[in-house]
Copies of this chain bind each other. A is one copy, B any other.
């Protein structure tokens, strides 16, 4: 799957800035792929890029309309369908990270077939996969892991890719979740594959390569999160990472959505991931820690990072506040 680029970012009529997270992520990491935004009302959240009509975006070369919003149920509102259908008629492909599938709307499927365009439901995965084998593959791989879900693994992965390329280490981001897939235009939502194929999906996402230096694979969930650890372990085995970067949010009170589950310690998370990773790559090593320190002041965050660097003998940083160059420095020696 390769979603044709560039994009027109569709924001529908969402007014909650958090609901536009996906579109914001795409714009932040791939501004060159975003021709503009399409909003259905003046009150709709704006990303601060040009408002374009479908026709204007088409003239600027946009190939795919990306549904860049999220809502609680993951439903595509009926009020958006006319716009989506018109986009298809004008030659756009549509890509969506919503739970409800574009292909579940017969009118959209019919229009896409009639006009030779594609509908990309990136949260789902229906294509055949092979079972993972754990066979060593060519190329070096870095995987982000975490103490929990939503602790900054995608952000960290994209920040690492950017900094590595800046330092002349040719790297490619490999997406494993819906926003990441929309950012990169390809990838597999590993949590959406049939359970038997988790590690096989990871192997397919980052196959043998010799044309660049590193694949940076977006992690999912946590080995210590009882809801999703199976996904995390399959992804870890299939990624066969040479390097792991551990992500953590400062101040998180408990595992996301599970008040009865403590967030695991850094030490426990680090060891669990390193031990499990060595099944398919005996050299796998945690090379740094990325923190989301947004709950504390910047000065305190800097002190904390320095303290933790002493404690864990690893580079520790907040990618948003302090960048990831200290971690990338470590990669030159791997």
Q: How far is the CB of A246 from chain B (nearest CB, A)?
A: 17
Q: How far is the CB of A161 from chain B (nearest CB, A)?
A: 24
> Which residue of B is nearest A255, CB measured?
B134
CB-based contact B200/A191 at 8 Å: no
CB-based contact B192/A194 at 8 Å: yes
Question: Which among A190, A227, A235, A238 has the highest number of chain B CB atoms within 10 Å?
Answer: A227
CB-based contact A229/B224 at 8 Å: no
- Stoichiometry, copies per complex: 2
Question: How many chain A residues have a CB neighbour from B under 8 Å?
Answer: 38
> Which residue of B is nearest A197, CB measured?
B195
Q: How far is the CA of A192 from the CA of B228 in the complex (A)?
A: 16
Which residues of chain B are near A193, meaning CB under 8 Å?
A: 194-195
> Which residue of B is nearest A133, CB measured?
B258
CB-based contact A191/B196 at 8 Å: yes
Is A42 close to B, CB under 8 A?
A: no
Which residues of chain B are near A227, meaning CB under 8 Å?
A: 131-134, 196, 199-200
Within 8 A of B (CB), among A198-251: 198-200, 223-224, 226-235, 237-238
CB-based contact A230/B198 at 8 Å: yes
Within 8 A of B (CB), among A272-329: 272, 275-276, 279-280
> Which residue of B is nearest A131, CB measured?
B227
Q: How far is the CA of A233 from the CA of B199 in the complex (A)?
A: 13
Partner of A260, one of B134, B261, B275, B276: B134
The 10 closest A-B pairs by CB, nearest first: A230-B234, A134-B226, A198-B230, A230-B230, A191-B196, A226-B237, A233-B233, A131-B227, A195-B231, A132-B227
Which residues of chain B are near A228, meaning CB under 8 Å?
A: 131, 196, 199
Q: How far is the CA of A197 from the CA of B227 in the complex (A)?
A: 8
Is A135 close to B, CB under 8 A?
A: yes
List 13 interface pairs A-B (beta carbons < 8 Å), by A numbering: A132-B226, A133-B226, A195-B230, A195-B231, A196-B227, A196-B231, A198-B231, A200-B227, A229-B233, A229-B276, A230-B234, A230-B235, A230-B237
- 18 additional A-B pairs beyond A198-B230, A199-B229, beta carbons within 8 Å, are A131-B227, A134-B227, A134-B260, A190-B195, A191-B196, A194-B194, A195-B197, A195-B198, A196-B231, A223-B276, A224-B279, A226-B237, A226-B279, A229-B276, A230-B230, A230-B232, A230-B234, A230-B235
> Which residue of B is nearest A194, CB measured?
B192
Q: How far is the CA of A199 from the CA of B272 in the complex (A)?
A: 18
> Which residue of B is nearest A226, CB measured?
B134
Q: How far is the CB of A242 from chain B (nearest CB, A)?
A: 16
Q: How far is the CA of A223 from the CA of B277 in the complex (A)?
A: 11
Which residues of chain B are near A223, meaning CB under 8 Å?
A: 233, 276
Q: How far is the CB of A204 from chain B (nearest CB, A)?
A: 13
CB-based contact B233/A134 at 8 Å: no
